[in-house]
Amino acid sequence: MKRLKINTWTGILDIVNCVLFAASWFVVFGAALSSGSGAADSSGTFFYVMAWIGVILNIIALLQSRRHGISLVGSVLGIIGSALFGVTAAMAFPAMVVLIVAAVFIMLQHPSKSYLQSHNSNLNNQ
């Protein structure tokens, strides 16, 4: 089974986003307390952009994994985890938990059950 580089990079981005989402609490609260001129809004934008980049990259990884018969669990969890934070930063903790699990599954790159069933049936028919 071929290992996809997109899955490896997506798993790495999921881990990076976990760290960023944890840091986002301190950055946004620090900016809000230090100045009331919208600094928290502008610093929060970076974290939202990273979350939506994660959604897009996980969608690309999902499509590539599907094409190559790799399990989709990690990509689906990555989409959910990134979207949780992308919708609202209040969901940062659940997003981090889901992204950690997603990174593990996406880096494993196991073949999907449907791929294994079709491959085994082809072998049995020969």
- The CA distance from 123 to 109, in Å, is 22
Task: Give residue 16's identity as a one-letter amino acid code.
Answer: V
* pTM (2 d.p.): 0.84
> Percent of the chain at pLDDT above 70?
84
- The CA distance from 110 to 126, in Å, is 24
Domain ranges of the chain: 5-125
Token pair in block for residue 50: 């990273």
What one-character-per-residue DSSP string does 20-88 give? HHHHHHHHHHHHHHH-SSSHHHHHHHHHHHHHHHHHHHHHHHHHHHHHHTB-SHHHHHHHHHHHHHHH-
- 10-32 average pLDDT score: 90
In this predicted structure, which of 21-25, 54-58, 109-113 has the lowest mean pLDDT?
A: 109-113
Residue 124 has pLDDT above 70, yes or no: no
Task: Give the tens place of pLDDT for each residue, 60-93.
Answer: 999 999 999 888 999 999 999 999 999 988 899 9
